[in-house]
Amino acid sequence: MQTLTVVKIGGNVIDDSAALNRFLAAFSGLTGARILIHGGGKIATQMAAKLGIETTMVDGRRITDQSMLDVITMVYGGLVNKQIVAKLQALDVNAIGLTGADASTVLARKRPVKDIDYGMVGDIEEVDSGQIQFFLRQELTPVFAPITYSESGELLNTNADTMASAIAVDLTRHNDVTLVYCFEKKGVLKNPDDDSSVINELNPGQYSEYKAAGTINKGMIPKLDNAFKALENGVKRVIICHADELAAAVNQSAGTTLTL
């Protein structure tokens, strides 16, 4: 089986053009097949404000009504995605910008209303790994915006960490997959204010202990839930690292490596 590296890049890096350029240079230097999944950063919120559309967040998650979905589609699927694709082309990476709706690659369903109505938010149902593998065989590098689609033809805002995990898991049918979550921290930290407190290896038992103690909390919990789910479902390696340390992390000399 060929090797494949699936990388998710967080929004805070996308907000910083210099940091994004450094990350993409490192991404372009990875050997073997690659897939990139990106978030949207603060650009969608800023664009919505310019258009007079209010942003509503609940527990750090965006409520996506139709007006906000229109903005997200423009910003994530358009502006951010195509800027990344153009930058990769300049780095001699033949990238193709996609959403889950393109070539029916990532099907989702609208999240049912329980305590909170998140609006046009998608929970992933199916990934077409055969279609994505076709792009890889053409020596293309897929770059996914965090947008999926439903069977009824709706576009849906979808968590980029979840999308990265689902794509990585489904591609294990054809590849030895390494999944890397890159963001502005050096990995999973014992002290969120101290970048030197990186937890080099993390297994499920330690994860439970750190959660119970409050050491791991807030947004890191869903990220790690997605990461461990990927590892449990066939992904060979999962790493969480700083965007500037992508190459070192893939070579197992930086970041946090998850183990079972």
pLDDT at 19 over 70: yes
| Strand ranges inside 44-139, DSSP E | 57-58, 61-62, 95-98, 106-110, 122-127
Of the chain, the percentage scoring pLDDT greater than 90 comes to: 83
- Class of the CATH-defined domain 2-258: alpha beta
Mean of pLDDT values over 132-143: 97
Asked if residue 116 has pLDDT above 70, the reply is: yes
pLDDT reported for residue 98: 98
Mean pLDDT for the stretch of residues 172-190: 95
Task: Reply yes or no on whether the pLDDT at 60 is more than 70.
Answer: no
- Neighbouring CB atoms inside 10 A of 56's CB total 13
173-206 b/e (C-beta count within 10 Å ≥ 16 → b): ebbbbbbbbbbebbbbbeeeeeeeebbeebeeeb
**What does pTM read for this prediction?**
0.95
61-80: average pLDDT: 94
Q: Is the pLDDT of residue 103 over 80?
A: yes
3-state SS string over 123-186?
Answer: EEEEECHHHHHHHHHCCCEEEECCEEECCCCCEEECCHHHHHHHHHHHHCCCEEEEEEEEECCC
Residue 61 clears pLDDT 80, i.e. is over it: no
pLDDT, mean of residues 212-238 = 92
pLDDT on residue 192: 84
Q: What is the pLDDT of residue 218?
A: 82
Work out the average pLDDT over 77-92.
Answer: 97
